Amino acid sequence: VGIVGRPNVGKSTLFNRLLGEKIAIVTPKQQTTRGRILGVLNLPNAQVLFLDSPGLHQPQHALGRYMLEVVKAVMSEADVLVAMIDARAGITADDERVFTRIRQSGRPALLVLNKADTVRKPKLLPLLERCARLNLFRELIPVSALLGDQVDVLLASILTLLPEGPRWYEEGQRTDQTLEQRISELIREQIMLATFEEVPGAVAVQIDTLESRERVTAIQATAMVERQGQKAILIGKGGSMMKKIGTEARAELERLLGRKVHLEIWVK
Ligand code: GDP
Ligand code: MG
């Protein structure tokens, strides 16, 4: 099941909600999700493989072009597409472009009108009518991925559209990301949350060492940015920004690993 849509509509929030676990990182900023992320949901009668994807947008640089390729791959790999719009924003030009690609893919698709918690019914109804006239989606489902409203209804609809097949992953496997990848993503999330303007989009995080000791897991990571000025912003006055990011990231990592974490982040 491929989850697709323009940036920031709430794809990763829904993905995590469906899986009942934080597998994809979430921020209010664009370019948060950069790659294809697999999440495996095991149910008594089904195994659903969800693919989270970067926001579909007109690429302006190499990272954007790469992200577009990722979305295309997700669309061709999925048996079912879950397209998402922001119910508060309605249908934007970027959404129209997403719809065009869905039409071209020929895949069965559902439309999720997310952030329903932010709009009143009278505003939602005309939007639903407009979406129905597109003649593209099997169902239109208003949800709040943030609050979890109607996500069970969505899941039930998804299940009716899935083809039969074997369970591809073992029960315990929830994603195909390595532990290093998940750690680096959680650190990048905190950097993106703490910084502004061009910094969030310019950051990459690399895990240098990951060492499980008796009482604590020790992690050394490098945060890389593109320019000297961004490095200064990321470090902050007297290291204050990095200290804040490190504290938040450590809390997230302790949640993921279920044990104490010692975290050092270098900026390059
Ligand atoms: P993505 O870029 O489509 O993956 O969007 P994210 O999942 O990263 O979410 C973008 C922003 O929208 C974040 O700040 C989320 O907290 C917020 N968001 C996601 N779903 C909802 C929702 O149902 N209601 C509200 N109010 N905000 C949401
Ligand atoms: Mg995302």
What local confidence, expressed as pLDDT, does residue 147 receive? Answer: 98
Lining residues, ligand 1, CB within 6 Å: 5, 7-13, 26-28, 32-33, 55, 114-115, 117-118, 144-146
The predicted model scores a pTM of 0.96
Residue 60 three-state SS: coil
Nearest to 76 by CA among 178, 138, 143, 4: 4
Count the helix, strand and coil residues of the chain and give each as a percent rounded to the nearest 5. 45, 25, 35
Write phi, then psi, for 149 (nearest 5 degrees): -70, 130
Collect all residues with Cβ–Cβ distance below 8 Å to 168 and sequence separation of at least 6: 47, 49
What local confidence, expressed as pLDDT, does residue 254 receive? Answer: 98
- pLDDT digits over 128-156, tens only? 999 999 999 999 999 999 999 999 999 99
Distances (CA, A) of 177 to 39, 51, 198: 9, 12, 27
8, 52, 124: which to mutate for ligand 1, most atoms within 8 A of CB? 8
Please state the atom number of ligand 1 nearest to the C-alpha of residue 30: 2
Distance 118 CA to ligand 2 centre (A): 19
Who surrounds ion ligand 2 at CB < 5 A?
A: 11-12, 32-33
Write phi, then psi, for 172 (nearest 5 degrees): -75, -15
DSSP letter (8 states) at residue 239: G
> CA 200, CA 186: separation in Å to the nearest integer?
13
Distance 238 CA to ligand 2 centre (A): 32
- pLDDT digits over 3-34, tens only? 999 999 999 999 999 999 999 999 999 999 99
Give yes or no for a contact between 21 and 65, defined as CB atoms under 8 angstroms apart: no
33, 144, 146: which to mutate for ligand 1, most atoms within 8 A of CB? 146
Residues 156-160, mean pLDDT to the nearest whole number: 98
Ligand nearest to C-alpha 8: 1
Ligand nearest to C-alpha 10: 1
- pLDDT digits over 93-133, tens only? 999 999 999 999 999 999 999 999 999 999 999 999 999 99
